[in-house]
């Protein structure tokens, strides 16, 4: 298998022109293999005893807890649309489904950028930016979990995450890095194609630099194939439906909250009208109790030290 597409430039110098599309198949196969493996292990692993925590919960905790605000959900779905458009436009032509893809691709790319900009701004201003931070303890717990999963021992119940479990955070952050790489390189690549924004200039960077840009874009592209496959897989796994559902209607139930989250790490306080299932979301904060710094309530992280 080749990893790179290379060519001789006009001066007969060896340059990279992109990744080998074998890697696309590798990502697809790798992604599938992961899913199958995971599914098989999960299927053969004894279910954890259902912990009866629900009743023991703080009565102040509302029955429905808002996990994703309407704005976050809108962001998620908009972003996923642009992402799918990007993936489809990038890879369908490579597997023989041909259409004029480049313009749709970069327009979707701009769509993606806009949603992400919105997301970042929103997350910084309104949400808890630190909720995606992965601390050392968490990392340890995460590793233990993976090892446990591979050993097919029942999930540990000793510690529970805050709002976002470690796998979500890892997923989110990996995807964020990959996507940002795709975006950064994609924006540069727009200089090579016809757009209304600037005159085409393939010589903006040296051949070598362009090679790197195309390779990074390609790599992030195929990496996204695998990550998104995994994402969808988990979204449709029955034990995660409650999360998937929350991305649709915004809420999780108190039961799921108590079962899957550490109320100390994800403190939920009822907001006005929460109990009545009103529109205003309950206040959701990070683990203020453990917070080493005196950060304002709504901006605190559930960072663990």
288 is a site residue for ligand HEM (CB under 6 A): no
Segment interacting with ligand HEM (CB under 6 A) among 27-35, 152-160, 211-219, 257-265: 211-219
Listed in sequence order, the residues at least 6 apart from 154 whose beta carbon sits closer than 8 Å to its beta carbon are: 45, 46, 47, 48, 49, 148
| Torsion of the alpha carbons at 5, 191, 12 and 219, rounded to the nearest 10 | -20
H or E element in which residue 299 lies? none
Cβ-based burial of 74 (10 A; exposed 0-12, middle 13-18, buried ≥19): middle
289 is a site residue for other proteins (CB under 8 A): no
Count how many Cα atoms sit within 13 Å of the Cα of residue 180 in the half-sphere of its side chain.
8
Segment interacting with ligand HEM (CB under 6 A) among 101-109, 144-152, 160-168, 282-290: 101-109
**At 66, is the secondary structure helix, strand, or coil?**
strand
Among 162, 165, 186, 281, binds ligand HEM (CB under 6 A): 186
Segment interacting with ligand HEM (CB under 6 A) among 47-55, 185-193, 232-240, 259-267: 185-193
109 is a site residue for ligand HEM (CB under 6 A): yes
CB 258 within 8 A of CB 54: yes
Q: Nearest distance from residue 16's CB to other proteins, in Å? A: 9
- What does 238 bind: other proteins, ligand HEM, none (CB cut-off 5 to 8 Å by kind)? none
Partners of residue 65 on adjacent β-strands:
252
- What does 90 bind: ligand HEM, other proteins, none (CB cut-off 5 to 8 Å by kind)? ligand HEM
Among 23, 182, 243, 274, binds ligand HEM (CB under 6 A): 182
- Enumerate residues 83-142 that contact other proteins by CB under 8 A: 93, 98-103
20 is a site residue for other proteins (CB under 8 A): no
Q: Where are the beta strands (DSSP E) in 53-144?
A: 64-66
Size of the site for ligand HEM (CB under 6 A): 26
Q: Which residues of 28-42 are buried (b: 16+ CB within 10 A; e: fewer)?
A: bebbeeebeeeeeee
Distance CA 190, CA 178 (A): 18
Structure token digits, residue 187: 């924006």
Structure token digits, residue 46: 């004894």
CA distances from 205 to 2, 181, 233 (A): 25, 17, 39
Q: Nearest distance from residue 66's CB to ligand HEM, in Å? A: 29
Q: Nearest distance from residue 213's CB to ligand HEM, in Å? A: 9
86 is a site residue for ligand HEM (CB under 6 A): yes
- Residues near ligand HEM (CB under 6 A) are 18, 83, 86-87, 90, 102, 105-106, 109-110, 112-113, 179, 182-183, 186-187, 189-190, 192-193, 214, 217-218, 221, 224
């Amino acid at each position: 298998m080749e990893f790179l597409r290379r060519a001789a430039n006009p001066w007969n110098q060896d340059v990279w022109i992109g990744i080998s599309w074998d890697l696309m198949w590798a990502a697809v196969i790798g992604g599938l293999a992961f899913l199958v493996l995971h599914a098989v292990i999960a299927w053969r692993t004894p279910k954890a005893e259902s912990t009866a925590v629900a009743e023991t919960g703080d009565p102040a905790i509302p029955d429905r807890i808002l996990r994703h605000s309407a704005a976050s959900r809108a962001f998620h779905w908009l972003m996923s649309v642009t992402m799918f458009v990007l993936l489809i436009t990038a890879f369908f032509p490579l597997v023989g489904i041909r259409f004029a893809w480049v313009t749709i691709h970069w327009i979707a790319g701009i769509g993606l950028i806009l949603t992400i900009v919105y997301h970042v701004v929103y997350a910084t201003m309104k949400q808890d930016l630190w909720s995606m931070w992965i601390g050392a303890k968490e990392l340890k717990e995460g590793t233990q979990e993976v090892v446990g999963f591979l050993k097919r021992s029942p999930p540990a119940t000793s510690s529970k995450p805050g709002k976002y479990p470690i796998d979500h955070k890892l997923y989110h952050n990996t995807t964020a890095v990959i996507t940002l790489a795709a975006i950064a390189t994609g924006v540069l690549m727009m200089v090579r194609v016809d757009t209304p924004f600037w005159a085409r200039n393939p010589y903006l960077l040296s051949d070598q630099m362009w090679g790197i840009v195309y390779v990074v874009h390609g790599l992030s592209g195929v990496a996204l194939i695998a990550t998104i496959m995994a994402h969808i897989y988990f979204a449709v796994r029955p034990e995660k439906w409650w999360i998937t559902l929350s991305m649709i209607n915004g809420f999780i139930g108190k039961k799921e909250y108590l079962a899957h989250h550490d109320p100390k790490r994800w403190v939920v306080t009822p907001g006005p009208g929460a109990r009545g299932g009103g529109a205003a979301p309950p206040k959701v904060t990070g683990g203020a109790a453990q917070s080493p710094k005196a950060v304002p309530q709504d901006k605190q992280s559930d960072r663990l030290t």
